[in-house]
Amino acid sequence: MSIQNANTITPTPASPSQAISDKGLLRGAIGLAIISLVGFGLLYSLAGVGLGQALFPSAANGSLIERNGKVVGSSLVAQPFADARYFQPRPSAAGHDPMAVAGSNQARTNPDLRKRIDEALMGAAQRNGVDPSAIAGDLVTQSGGGIDPHISPQAAALQADRVARARGLGRAGVEALIARHTQNKQLGLLGQPRVNVLELNLALDAATSAEVNAPANGG
Amino acid sequence: MTEFLLVFALAIGLGWPLGRYLAAVMRGEPMRGDGLFLRLERPLYALLGTDPQRGMSWRGYAGAFLLSNGVLGVIVWLILMTQAWLPLNPNGAPNMSWDLALHTMVSFLTNTNQQHYAGQAQLSYLAHMMGIVSLQIITPMMGLALVVATLRALFGGRNAQARKADGQDQTPVDVGNYWADVIRPTLRLMLPLCLLWSVLLTSQGVPATLDGGPVLAPVDATVQMKEQKIPLGPVSPMVSIKQLGTNGGGWYGANSAVPLENPTPLSNLLETLALILIPVAVVFMIAGLTGRRRFAALVLGTMLVMSVASAGLAIWSEGFSSTSQDIALMEGKEVRFGAAPSALWAALTTQTSNGSVNAMHDSLAPLTGLVTISDMLINAIWGGIGCGLQQFIVYLLLGVFLAGLMTGRTPELFGRKIEAPEVKLLAVLVLLQPLILLGLTAITLSVPSLTGNSNPGFHAISQVFYEYASAFANNGSGFEGLGDATVWWNLTCSFVLAAGRYPALIIPLAIAAMLARKRQAPESTGSLQIETPTFALTLIAVIVILTLLQFMPVLVLGPVADHLSLIAR
């Protein structure tokens, strides 16, 4: 392996002293700025938008969920739920406002974090009539982005009884809905099993209105 | 574990062919695809006023780099400060203050993407596409150009043969054409790959639209929130380049933890792979560019060992150690990913100077935080595109120098002696890091009104040190609880960002050009053999001792003490 290999980097110019020049830097710099801003930044972004819109229009527009022709949410954005007839999402440091997405950024050793988790544990246990030790961790911790649309299947299961009672539905029916809305590991390999809270609650409303023939969006 | 194995297997498997392709692109010889790309490139070279075959000296090359940064920086700074008056602002983002705009501009110009703002509310679509995305595309390619020029110079420059015939000193060392070195890889590698990633990410749910997002009423009318605005935009193209270009600055404030930016476990795999794909390809590129496969193998082996060790430690800490039993484990994490993929991301994003996050690093276990800070202090485990390898060359020169002293041989790299002038320049680089990081951390911690901590105790030290370490490494992630959108943080970080980028890219190029002018002794059995496992181990030791030992006190006071107080609870 000889060092002469380095010379194959490009063909050696016939007259190297003329081939090297450091002139024209300012023109190059201004030219490169124009190329970057318009050619790369703007045109590339527009190409990405065009391809996305053409191939995956629903996903490209925010995975919005419509009911009766009205946008009621996005399956990628958690909504707050307070009513006992609904499954609750994870707590949010951003108040579930997508314009303010954020985590709590509290350290594991921060006493405020411990106090908040303890209170959330007690609250969730009382609300769902279960022992605090049965509460799943994701239900009492704030997510990274503050709009995590999912909870773990355990966090859904421990709310099932309360939701069923509040709605006057059978527990088995609610559990079947949870099962239907549980997404397993993607491709059987990736991530964690999860339940989309907004989709589950919309399905609950649909099931209730079908059964009781009452308006879905009451309260 | 699945994600860990998949990401490394895919990165090596795809990085190899991509690296060979990249080498061909940077050699500038006729290749497949010329028919299309030459047609695109010719008008660009005409606009730039350059002949792509023409060479430059290292001074001209570095000058072109600095000047093109200056012009771009001023324009983007102006765009950020006037975005409210410019078109494509459907969400009504206001103009940025001068200091926030300055920090944002410097941060993206240095391929760092540290963000003291929240993109979905504080940037217009135009500012995102023209200001942010442009810099995200062009700055990693500038880093690549600089390291390619340095590699050329290390082997005598493109005109090595002619200069030898000339009697060495007459002609300057030809390190390449800066403009061609930036344009070619952008058009032939970066943009096609980004478009592919953009479509793949949109298929998983990342938005790609120019419309403003809808405002809707929550389904449960009993809650306090009366309306919810869903922020959309041309998100997918930006997320692709932020992941692939070791950028890291996301569309949304909470980056890839936000489901709109990273909707599924598959999108998470794609984004995690994108963190290291091109940095790995750049290492494979060495073989094709220099013709020395064993040298490429040395770099690859050294980086891979450190990368696997650091990622493994992070995954163990977050997913399998005693702290993983904590009820607070999911604080700052997303249910669809879980602990181990979040830790894998945290390790890779700090190794590669990317800085995007899929979980809040502030809330990670303290030992995972230790891994991320150490990765950023080393900043050469893959590293940012170009600058990671450039930093590795610094360690390589130091390693050769130290090994030469230890074995009593003249320290030489590829047959050229490393002597006092080169070592002095290396010393400047080595000293710059602790001086700036420890100095500013000390000042900031001693004036509580400047600090802006969100956490008490030892973690507060980690927060401040992390911010400066991240800025200097051009990483851009943060312990984001820090109240950092102040004039103090904006200005000091702007300074640290620039100090971490420009000397680290230019000084190695200068050293390589100095080496290239020296008489080349033939490599013999008497020379120090660097392309061996023994030297790789020496190099790892030099890297670990040099970077971690000098920061040991602050690491003990920060993350280590934080960990001890956590397990003592």
Instruction: Please judge whether B172 and A20 are an interchain contact, meaning their C-beta atoms are less than 8 angstroms apart.
Output: yes
Domain residue limits at B533 = 386-567
Sequence-distant (≥ 6) Cβ neighbours of residue A138 within 8 angstroms: A90, A151, A152, A155, B330, B335
In a domain? residue B138: yes
Q: Measure the CA dihedral B230/B109/B468/B194, to 10°.
A: 50
In a domain? residue B127: yes
Tokens of B258: 């936000």
Instruction: Please judge whether B228 and A73 are an interchain contact, meaning their C-beta atoms are less than 8 angstroms apart.
Output: yes
Question: Do B81 and B199 reside in the same domain of the chain?
Answer: yes
Q: Which of A66, A87, A143 is the mutation pick for testing B, counting most B CBs within 10 A?
A: A143
Average model confidence (pLDDT) across chain A? 89
C-beta neighbour count of B263 within 10 angstroms: 24
Question: Which A-chain residues 29-68 have CB contacts (< 8 A) with chain B?
Answer: 29-42, 44-49, 51-53, 55-56, 59-64
In a domain? residue B391: yes
Q: Measure the CA dihedral A92/B333/B248/B482, to 10°.
A: 60
Nearest residue, CB atoms, B207 vs list A62, A73, A148: A62
Question: Do B262 and B396 reside in the same domain of the chain?
Answer: no
Question: Which A-chain residues 148-177 have CB contacts (< 8 A) with chain B?
Answer: 148-152
Nearest residue, CB atoms, A109 vs list B68, B414, B562: B562
Average model confidence (pLDDT) across chain B? 94
Is the distance from CB of B513 to CB of B173 less than 8 angstroms?
A: yes
The C-alpha of B431 sits at a distance from chain A's nearest C-alpha, in angstroms, of 31
Cβ-Cβ contacts under 8 Å, B244 against chain A = none
Instruction: Please judge whether A17 and B6 are an interchain contact, meaning their C-beta atoms are less than 8 angstroms apart.
Output: no
Interface contacts A/B by beta carbons within 8 Å: 473
How far is the C-alpha of B34 from the C-alpha of B311, rounded, in Å? Answer: 39
pLDDT tens figures, B234-262: 999 999 999 999 999 999 999 999 999 99
pLDDT at position B167 is: 66
Q: Which band of pLDDT confidence, cut at 50, 70 and 90, is reported for residue A12?
A: very low
Strands (E) in B288-424, as ranges, are 412-413, 416-417
Nearest residue, CB atoms, B225 vs list A96, A138, A146: A96
Question: Do B210 and B102 reside in the same domain of the chain?
Answer: yes
Helix (H) or strand (E) holding B3: helix B2-27
A118/B contact by beta carbon, under 8 A? no
Is the distance from CB of B437 to CB of B373 less than 8 angstroms?
A: no
- A53: pLDDT strictly greater than 90: yes
For residue A196, list its beta bridge partners: A150
To the nearest whole percent, how much of chain A has pLDDT over 70?
88
Determine phi and psi for B254, rounding to 5 degrees.
Answer: -95, 20
Average pLDDT over residues B16-28: 96
Helix (H) or strand (E) holding B167: none
How far is the C-alpha of A105 from the C-alpha of A95, rounded, in Å? Answer: 14
- A14: pLDDT strictly greater than 70: no
Residues in chain B: 569
- B451: pLDDT strictly greater than 90: no
Q: Which band of pLDDT confidence, cut at 50, 70 and 90, is reported for residue B437?
A: very high
Query: Of B241, B269, B292, which residue sits at a domain end?
Result: B292
Instruction: Please judge whether B60 and A25 are an interchain contact, meaning their C-beta atoms are less than 8 angstroms apart.
Output: yes
Q: What are the distances in angstroms from CA A212 to CA A168, A209, B531?
A: 9, 5, 77
Nearest residue, CB atoms, A190 vs list B75, B194, B265: B265
What is the SS3 assignment for B388?
helix
pLDDT tens figures, B32-90: 899 999 999 999 999 999 999 999 999 999 999 999 999 999 999 999 999 999 999 98
In a domain? residue B187: yes
Q: What are the distances in angstroms from CA A185 to CA A148, A194, B337?
A: 17, 8, 10
Instruction: Please judge whether B291 and A96 are an interchain contact, meaning their C-beta atoms are less than 8 angstroms apart.
Output: no
- A13: pLDDT strictly greater than 80: no
How far is the C-alpha of B86 from the C-alpha of A175, rounded, in Å? Answer: 52
Cβ-Cβ contacts under 8 Å, A186 against chain B = 264-266
Q: Which of A10-19, A206-215, B492-501, B553-562 shows the lowest mean pLDDT across its residues?
A: A10-19
- A155: pLDDT strictly greater than 50: yes
For residue B417, list its beta bridge partners: B412
Q: Which of B7, B48, B120, B335 is the mutation pick for testing A, counting most A CBs within 10 A?
A: B335
Cβ-Cβ contacts under 8 Å, A16 against chain B = 55, 159, 162-163, 166, 171, 174
What's the complex ipTM? Answer: 0.92
How far is the C-alpha of B158 from the C-alpha of B423, rounded, in Å? Answer: 24
How far is the C-alpha of B352 from the C-alpha of B242, rounded, in Å? Answer: 12
Query: Of B246, B264, B292, which residue sits at a domain end?
Result: B292
- Could you tell me which chain B residue has the CA closest to the CA of A202? B219
In the block, tokens 């290396």 appear at B426
In a domain? residue B185: yes
Helix (H) or strand (E) holding B282: helix B265-290
How far is the C-alpha of B452 from the C-alpha of A45, rounded, in Å? Answer: 36
- B161: pLDDT strictly greater than 90: no
The C-alpha of B207 sits at a distance from chain A's nearest C-alpha, in angstroms, of 4
pLDDT at position A8 is: 44
Is the distance from CB of A191 to CB of B338 less than 8 angstroms?
A: yes
pLDDT at position B484 is: 81
Nearest residue, CB atoms, A24 vs list B50, B257, B362: B50
Sequence-distant (≥ 6) Cβ neighbours of residue A206 within 8 angstroms: A216
Question: Do B124 and B242 reside in the same domain of the chain?
Answer: yes
Instruction: Please judge whether B205 and A99 are an interchain contact, meaning their C-beta atoms are less than 8 angstroms apart.
Output: no
Instruction: Please judge whether B363 and A106 are an interchain contact, meaning their C-beta atoms are less than 8 angstroms apart.
Output: yes
- A18: pLDDT strictly greater than 70: no
- Could you tell me which chain B residue has the CA closest to the CA of A107? B363
Instruction: Please judge whether B170 and A5 are an interchain contact, meaning their C-beta atoms are less than 8 angstroms apart.
Output: no
In a domain? residue B301: no
Question: Do B418 and B554 reside in the same domain of the chain?
Answer: yes
DSSP state of B212: P
In a domain? residue B5: no
Residues in chain A: 219
Nearest residue, CB atoms, B220 vs list A81, A100, A121: A81
User: B293-315 and B2-27 are packed helices; what angle lies between their axes, rounded to 10 degrees?
Assistant: 150
Q: How far is CA B74 from the centre of its chain?
A: 22
pLDDT tens figures, B124-135: 999 999 999 999
C-beta neighbour count of A152 within 10 angstroms: 22
pLDDT tens figures, A63-77: 999 998 999 999 999
pLDDT tens figures, B298-326: 999 999 999 999 999 999 999 999 999 99
Nearest residue, CB atoms, A29 vs list B68, B132, B455: B68
Is the distance from CB of B452 to CB of B553 less than 8 angstroms?
A: no
To the nearest whole percent, how much of chain B has pLDDT over 90?
84
A206/B contact by beta carbon, under 8 A? no
In the block, tokens 């405020």 appear at A112
C-beta neighbour count of A211 within 10 angstroms: 13
How far is the C-alpha of B268 from the C-alpha of B336, rounded, in Å? Answer: 9
How many independent structural domains does chain B possess? Answer: 2
Nearest residue, CB atoms, A59 vs list B156, B202, B213: B202
- B408: pLDDT strictly greater than 60: yes
- A10: pLDDT strictly greater than 80: no
For residue A194, list its beta bridge partners: A183
Q: Which of A197-201, B163-167, B535-539 shows the lowest mean pLDDT across its residues?
A: B163-167
Q: What are the distances in angstroms from CA B129 to CA B87, B134, B235, B237, B414?
A: 12, 7, 9, 9, 44
Cβ-Cβ contacts under 8 Å, A159 against chain B = none
Instruction: Please judge whether B174 and A90 are an interchain contact, meaning their C-beta atoms are less than 8 angstroms apart.
Output: no
Q: B301: phi > 0 → left, psi -120 to 50 → alpha, else beta; which? A: alpha
Question: Do B128 and B263 reside in the same domain of the chain?
Answer: yes
Query: Of B240, B265, B292, which residue sits at a domain end?
Result: B292
Determine phi and psi for A72, rounding to 5 degrees.
Answer: -110, -10
pLDDT tens figures, B187-211: 999 999 999 999 999 999 999 999 9
In a domain? residue B380: no
Is the distance from CB of B202 to CB of B236 less than 8 angstroms?
A: yes
